Amino acid sequence: MAKRTITYADAGVDIGANARWVDTIRSSMSATFGPRVCNRHGSFAGMFRLDYEEILFRRNYRKPILVGCTDGVGTKVLLGISTGQLDGLGIDLVAMSINDLLTCGAEPLFFLDYLAVHKLDPAHLAVLVTGIAKGCEMSNCALLGGETAEMPAMYQKGHFDLAGFAVGVVEAHRQVDPARVSQGDIIIGLSSSGPHSNGYSLTRKLVSRRRLDRSMDELGESLADALMKPTRIYAEAVRQVMAHYRVKRVVTAMAHITGGGLPENVGRVLSPRLDAVIKTAAWSPPPIFAFLQSRGVDQDEMYRVFNMGIGYVLLVRPAFVSGVVRVLERAGEHPAIIGKIKRGRGKVILR
C-alpha cells in the first residue's frame, strides 16, 4: 500500500518479526494520504494526482509551477541520539523543506524521506517515520514514500541520517516574487520554538552532555527538552494568509530563518538597493538563546547562527499589515512587527 523501500545491507533481517512496526509505519503514512494519493501496491514510485477533479484543477491552475526543496536536520540528529529524543526529528525534517517551499507561496503537495541507518531498528524507525508523518499532517501534505538504507559500514553504531524532499505547486501569477519588495514594506516575524534545526554543531560544543537532562530554572525545563523542541511548521498560517488575499498581492516576500539567521535569510529577498531594518527589541527570544549566549558566544554570532526566536518572516505592504496580522493570529500565531524595508544597499541591519 504505502510505498516504503527498505534496503538491507545483509540478509538475515527477519521482516516477519518486525511486522508490528511495519504496520505502525504504514498506518502513520496512510494517515497523511488524501484522495490525491494514488500509490499502487508494489509500485516503484509514489503517485499523486495534481488535482483529483479535472474541472477543479483547471480552475485553480492555468500555469502550475512545481516547487521542489530538499534538506536534512544536520547535527540535531546527534543530539537526538544522545538524549534519546527522536520523536521530534521527523517534524524537524519535514519543517526544513516545507517552510522553504512556503516562501514562494506554494501549496505543499507531498514529501519523501531518505533514512540511512547503521543498523535497522524497527522501533526507532517507527518513531522517526511517525514523526515524519506527523510533520506531513501539520503541513497538509502526503508522505508519499521513502527509502530506508541500512549501511553499517557508513554510519557509526546507533547513528543515522535523514534527508527530506518536498514538492508543492503554485499558480504562476500567484507566486510570491521578492522582486516586488519595495521601500516601506513591513517585516512581520513568526515565533520559533527554539533553535529549530540550525546551529547544533555550535550548540553541541557549548553544552556538556551531563547537564542535558537536568531541569534548569532559567529555562523552565531541561536543556534536552529546550534543544529538542521540533521546528515549527508555518504551513497553516501561510496558507490562511494566501487564501485570504486571493487577488491582492499583499505579501511581497517570505523567508524561512535557518542557518545564517535573520541577516542571511532576510538578505536573500532584498534587492541591492534595499535594506531591511530589524528591531530586535520587538520580540523576546526564548530563554534557551540567552543560555547559549552565556556560554561564551558574542551577540552578532548568535544572530548569524541562530534564528533568535523568529522562525519565519513575511514582508507585507504597509496598508495590509493589520489585516495580515489578524489572519495570522486567527491561525494561532503570535506575529510581531519586527522591521521595515528602507532604501539601502542590500543589507539586513539589526538594531
Q: Using an 8 Å Cβ cutoff, are 297 and 206 in contact?
A: yes
Residue for grid cell 505543499:
108
161 binds a copy of itself (CB under 8 A): yes
- Part of the chain binding a copy of itself (CB under 8 A), chosen from 6-14, 20-28, 315-323, 332-340: 6-14
List 163, 207, 277, 282, residue binding a copy of itself (CB under 8 A): 163
Residue window 117-156: x/- pattern of binding to a copy of itself, with contact defined by CB under 8 A: ---------------------------xxxx-x-x-xxxx
Contact range with a copy of itself by CB under 8 A, out of 60-68, 238-246, 280-288, 315-323: 60-68
Point out which span in 21-29, 161-169, 183-191, 225-233 binds a copy of itself (CB under 8 A): 161-169
Residues 328-347 touching a copy of itself, rule: CB under 8 A, are none
Residue selected from 1, 50, 56, 123 as contacting a copy of itself according to rule CB under 8 A: 50
With cell 504597509, the residue in question is 318
Instruction: Out of 127, 138, 269, 341, name the contact with a copy of itself by CB under 8 A.
Output: 269
Q: Does 263 bind a copy of itself (CB under 8 A)?
A: no
State in angstroms the smallest separation of the CB of 317 from a copy of itself.
20
Give the one residue of 1, 8, 158, 349 binding a copy of itself; rule: CB under 8 A.
Answer: 8
| CA distances from residue 197 to 85, 100, 182, 218, 261 in whole angstroms, order as listed | 14, 13, 30, 22, 12
Residues of this chain, 88-107, that bind a copy of itself according to CB under 8 A: 100-101, 103-104, 106
54: contact with a copy of itself by CB under 8 A:
yes
Distance from C-alpha of 40 to C-alpha of 197, rounded to nearest angstrom: 34
Helix or strand (DSSP H, E) at 327: helix 321-330
Site string for a copy of itself, 283-322 (x = CB under 8 A): ----------------------------------------
Length of the chain: 351
Which residues, numbered 168-227, are part of the site for a copy of itself (CB under 8 A)? 168-169, 172, 175, 177-179, 201-202, 204
Of residues 260 and 323, the one with the C-beta less far from a copy of itself: 260
| Strand positions, DSSP E, 192-295 | 215-216, 221-222, 251-256, 274-278
Q: Grid coordinates standing for 298?
A: 558574542
Q: What does the angle CA 245 – CA 169 – CA 137 come to, to the nearest 5 degrees?
A: 85
In a 13 Å sphere around the CA of 81, the CA atoms on its Cβ side amount to 19
Residue 175, exposed/middle/buried by CB under 10 A (0-12, 13-18, 19+)? middle
Among 68, 84, 184, 318, binds a copy of itself (CB under 8 A): 68
What is the C-alpha separation between 38 and 136, in angstroms, rounded?
17
Least Cα distance to 160 among 45, 228, 82, 258 occurs for: 82
| Spatial distance between the Cα atoms of 172 and 91, rounded to a whole number of angstroms | 29
Number of residues that bind a copy of itself (CB under 8 A): 75
